Structure 1
């Protein structure tokens, strides 16, 4: 043990005499809150994983909780703002350049969303750090009645079931919207520089289907 101590001391002295400083381990960079939350979500579980929950209402709540991994993901939340201003990126920053959905969710006159957003993602060139411009034939903000940002999963659940706020969709229409709508599907094909929503649209649709079939329960 004494020999080992003297070896360590000699090594340290050699470093000091040479003018070098002992290497220090870089502290771990704390994740931004949004990045940490996404990392904790994990992969989207298939609906079959919840078939073992005997209580029908508990199973429905568990299925909805799993579906919220998609519903509350930035790929969805960015287009469901509470102030009619679109958000961008995983950090959900205010759209740059300044933009608003205006009256119909497609932007003000002379500055429509389609001015920059085409029918498909536009992959820019010129470097690894340049992101794509999102695109979809239906590109627009969700209506104000479907604003989700800042709301709890329970509030969102009751909102998407409310036909007076969801565009008159009953549960079957809601399922087809979630499972088949191409703009919803963009969340899994967001283009270069963006993390897609977890799972895929088919898997998400199966969760919604199972949630509806078990009573479409909403958390408090």
Structure 2
């Protein structure tokens, strides 16, 4: 079986019900001009998988297999989040539910700021990185999922800035650009973000 057999399947399921992610992926996939229709799993009435892995890679594969099992189609899943080294890598894989409730961006941002407050030192930046792992499975039992990883380095602000994006974007500071991720346009963000980087690797794999 070729690693690109999924391109002849007609449909690729995007294993996500996160509106922010889906919006970004729709733009990224549109730029790729793939010969398949990319369908978000919610349109197929597929609920979120139980993410019980201990890494971004494990959870991405779990989500992709879950969507493929129910749809009978090839599937691609993203597992992503923000890692802060001074917190031992937290929130990490728990980024979406850091404050307890899945997808509560405001509460998650508030908890991250609260956890970092006692660790801040005058004049010292708190480093962070956004991580995205994409996992592509041809079918539910695919023994060789394709993995594409992107890492976007920045810092954590002391308070939110910007109205764009979702998740931790308002707290993610890019010192070389002097803006937060939430102050970027979708187009500019997709060029350099963790998700954009992973998608570039995905695109390269198709061209091979």
TM-score, length basis structure 2: 0.27
**Structure of larger gyration radius:** 1
State TM-score, norm by structure 1. 0.26
Task: For CA contacts below 8 A with separation 6 or more, give which structure has more relative contact order.
Answer: 1
Q: Which of the two has greater strand per residue? A: 2
